[in-house]
Structure 1
């Protein structure tokens, strides 16, 4: 599947890349943007029906919209198009065509009648103006932050997006409360000479626009494929038996990580077959309470009230039997008879890659001994020390053994004191 890029005039060319990474043209190729879409219906023949006239167009970062191809232009993935906007026109990159667009519109409840139009395939002049205003966005963002700081407004300008024709600039900002923009918009309009549009976003949307690398080593989900931001609470971490540590559970946005919801449904379904974590067993050796639950091994760890240092792992089926015996008024079998696993008997693990060692990347250097230190050579005689130096020199250079050695000044050690002194 090739991606077309409009590089000169109105003509388009094929990058001849059949991989998902796209071509090297970062400015115009659709695959260089975030939130890439794979058309899994591209090789499937559509039934005999009217071709979908809608096209998905992607703009800077994570902004997408659907447009009506009224002129039946030959569009494909990566085509740079000029679309209807208010005011003027905007320029975007086609990210999806065909029947999959109809499915996406139905999923997002997008009204086809309200869709704006696609004017034309962007000309070289349109692309040059678009690239010029895109280059100004970083400097405008820095200047906008200075103006907001001088006005003492409690807000942060996260990103600036110019329209394709430069007639409008959208300022994305984050703030804890309400912000008075009356004086700010006047300052921006006089400084940037364009129409100003202010749009407040959340901290998750800010991370999606800025991007970055997560603790897993991959790009942030919100900046690559995640479009809906569901609320995440600490119950998701408790269901997955994770420690409630804000430093580990929080993402780069400062909120709880979105990936805590990815496997939550699987954990909830698996925990439906487990007894409650507040279960207390009445055994012949005393009462035992639940310490933790292992979802993957389907085991529950119990410890006696009198001796909480010894833990015992028991299968879920055995726990259910013990609970049924307690309901009948009978005491259950001691935990030792089922299966025991004390904390002191844990298997010894060997860290082969030394991932827990902080000094694993540092070279270990042998510290040279100071031979002139009197405290180290207090018990050595001068003759023995000179013989040792001669032997070490012969071992280092055996060829120079018979050669005459140059005279070197020897350090004089103080004479060894007698016992009477």
Structure 2
């Protein structure tokens, strides 16, 4: 991901801000909110809203009260209040739009217990913060080794340091409840910091780690998707997808979030369609629905005695037959309706070059080789011995 000024350079680094997702414009992460009120000043006599939005490590945002009336703008690095010590984050939103975001996230902006912004981060604070972030990969690897030694059935997926370096939060996934008391003791002794363990789901793990999906694009959860709606197999059934878990599951092992993207359109289209359990009564016998094509508005039916032969009927034709069946009338057969739907296929490709077949070079050449060998033998016999 990158903002508009982050075109890639020859060495793979962003050409614009060169910050790899932490640029001051806040345009390189999925939690970006466009400040459409940035060019407007508050009315006369009114103060600017005293709360700001701060982002931490591209996956967590919190709201803080600017009680010191600091002149903050998007991209400023600030020291904020934490449970113990202070944390370092980046301001992502200021002004009246913060109030809108707090209402959307159901955060009371009148709450006196709202954490505060201490100050703008000094250079020493930023250096210490960057040093802590550089240690995260090394500590994550060491924590995984300790968990393996203790034989804990858990996977530590990410580590997030507090800005002052006094605390680290370890995010992990596990199928069962894990007793990690000994793990916390060993990690606190090895790293010399306070440890907090936080369990997350498999979707949240894929969100933090990122990756490339089967569509060839970056994962939706790591680029723009923020809320995870439940996905069920019925979404695949409505869209007539094969229930293959290997194709329907994403990198998190759960059903893909994109199964919900077009589900509403399919549900609206299926309102006018007869049910898949529809049965048609004809003089030739009872017919069952075998397949439905929403885009072509076509349904395929087959007789109970002959399930191999399918007959294509339009949606209107099926409704017409159902109306007759309600009146206890039977149609002669499905073939009469299916003949009306037959359309002559147009030839897309014509052989204008005169080529007989695309596999003409694959024909066996055994006979020609035999004839050539016979001619060579006869020529050798005819030659005089003294020649």
For the aligned pair, the TM-score class normalised by the smaller chain equals 0.7 to 0.9
Partner of 1:24: 18
**Which residue pairs with 2:85 in the alignment?**
88
Describe the superposition over 1:257-295 as per-residue Cα deviations: whole angstroms up to 9, x where unpaired: 111122222222221222211001112332221122222
* Equivalent in the alignment of 2:64: 67
Distance 1:207 1:277 in 2: 36
Q: 2:31 aligns with which of 21, 24, 35?
A: 35
TM-score (norm 1): 0.75
CA separation in 2, counterparts of 1:326 and 1:285? 14
Change (3 A) 1:221 1:279: same
Give ranges in structure 1 of 5+ residues lacking alignment: 4-15, 351-365, 367-373, 385-414
Cα distance change of structure 1 residues 45 and 188 upon mapping to structure 2, 3 Å threshold:
same
Q: What per-residue deviation string (whole Å, max 9, x for no partner) do you get for residues 79-121 of structure 1?
A: 2111111211111112222333222211221122142111122
Where does 1:316-331 land on structure 2 (aligned, <5 Å)?
A: 316-331=315-330
The aligned residue for residue 364 of structure 2 is: none
Distance 1:378 1:191 in 2: 82
Match of 1:79 in 2: 76
The RMSD of aligned alpha carbons is 3.3
**TM, length-normalised to structure 2:** 0.81
Confirm or deny: 8 A CA contact 1:310 1:342 kept in the other structure: no
> For residues 211 and 348 of structure 1, do their structure 2 counterparts lie closer, same or farther at Cα, with a shift above 3 Å needed?
farther
Aligned: 1:164 with 2:126: no
In structure 2, the partner of 1:202 is 201
Aligned length: 351
Structure index of larger Rg: 1
Summarize deviations over 1:17-64 as a string: whole Å, max 9, x none: 599x97332374133334333334546777776533222211113111
Structure 1 residues 28 and 330 mapped into 2: Cα distance closer, same or farther (>3 Å)?
A: closer
Shift of 1:333: 5.4
Matches within 5 A, 1:299-318: 299-318=298-317
Q: Which residue is 2:354 aligned to?
A: none
SS of structure 1 residue aligned to 2:255: coil
Are the equivalent residues in 1 in contact too, given 2:5–2:17 (CA < 8 A)? yes
Contact map agreement 1:33 1:60 (CA 8 A) in 2:
no
Provide the residue aligned with 2:366 in structure 1.
none
* Residue of structure 2 in register with 1:246 after alignment: 245
